[in-house]
Structure 1
């Protein structure tokens, strides 16, 4: 009987441990995920319409865990709200909500508000701030082209400067994705090449995007891939890379067959 009671108590304690963490201390859970772009304004709400005299507000912040106090309101102690000025924050004296204006990447992290009155209430916000995107630039290059490219091909490069984390650059032909490249580093140049024919009439576009926004630049083949004086390209005959090599081989073979046939005919006729 005693052993059963001991086992029951142990099981109860284990359940309390898993459900509450350390006995009586509730585990923190993220209530809201907010993704924004640099320069936006964000308000982290307390869900309070108007603070009462017995309510205290404490905001904490941290990249991995919200452990640094950044803003407080202590109504019962008759003290005014205090804010960590290094993060350029503002706290609403009426509701206790935290206001972040002109947000930057340094504001990325976890925000926790603790509301103390008759009971203890916690809300945790995870804020992710993405750097603003720049419009991609498309330029004509030659060093990025494959060695099998022919004179009928135009090689272009789509580039984006100073990209941040979770940014990708992609080439589209109409609605179809042709190629894509992404990066996780900060403040680097991201480039992606593409080969097209001079006479190609398809629609191509380069898209740079992060999880919350994207920017598009269209490729104008006739403007960017114009031929220099003295050059001529036959539409429908040449193509980029391997295809042209095959066509040339077939044409050469046909010319050889015709030449041999002509010589045989000439000899017989004589």
Structure 2
């Protein structure tokens, strides 16, 4: 499910068969509120609730038959098992005691399958390849640095004529007891 809001119209994209969630952003319907959902350019009422009574309209319309769920606490509308014919313009009206009306618009697109119109939530393959190359370069640099640091003392000893044998004077000086 992809959702975006552009110019006051919330865009919702889903794949066929998935539910469409049209959210009112109401936490609880207040006494005297009426929530009404309209569909299409003709603004056909498809669902209403006052918080107590839900009514689903157009049940005879095969597009919505047995597919609409209306939350009587929030007024959210869920279209189950979406189909391409559920694509279109949805209008939400929240009327409070006949004193004011809040309207929200939703543009729903139901895709038949994976579509370029539905953004991929992951990284593109080019971005993933770039990240992998960068990580490998970092590991190579760290490995080279470790190799360089570990081979430097060995080269220094060989250049000074010292091998793995220890200097006897240094050993005896370190093991002498300290006089006080």
Q: What TM bracket, shorter-length normalisation?
A: 0.5 to 0.7
The equivalent of 1:97 in structure 2 is 76
Residue aligned with 2:28, SS: coil
Structure 1, unaligned runs of 5 or more: 1-28, 134-208, 215-270
| Aligned match for 2:109, one of 109, 113, 128 | 128
Are 2:93 and 2:103, in contact at CA under 8 Å, matched by a contact in 1?
Answer: yes
Are 1:66 and 1:111, in contact at CA under 8 Å, matched by a contact in 2?
Answer: no
| Aligned match for 2:45, one of 69, 73, 95 | 69
The equivalent of 2:20 in structure 1 is 42
Alignment of 1:182-193 (within 5 A): none
- Greater per-residue strand proportion: 1
- Which structure has the higher relative contact order (CA within 8 Å, separation 6+)? 2
What do residues 205-248 of structure 1 show as CA deviations (whole Å, max 9, x unaligned)? xxxx531268xxxxxxxxxxxxxxxxxxxxxxxxxxxxxxxxxx
Number of equivalences: 106
* Change over 3 Å in CA distance of 1:109–1:30 after alignment to 2: farther
When the two chains are superposed, the root-mean-square deviation of aligned CA atoms in Å is 2.0
Q: For 2:30 and 2:85, how far apart are their aligned partners in 1?
A: 32
Q: For 1:50 and 1:74, how far apart are their aligned partners in 2?
A: 11
TM-score by length of 1: 0.37
Structure 2, unaligned runs of 5 or more: 1-6, 121-180
| Aligned match for 2:89, one of 82, 93, 110 | 110
- Greater per-residue helix proportion: 2
TM-score by length of 2: 0.54
Residue aligned with 1:51, SS: coil
1:37 Cα deviation after fit: 0.8
Residue aligned with 1:106, SS: helix
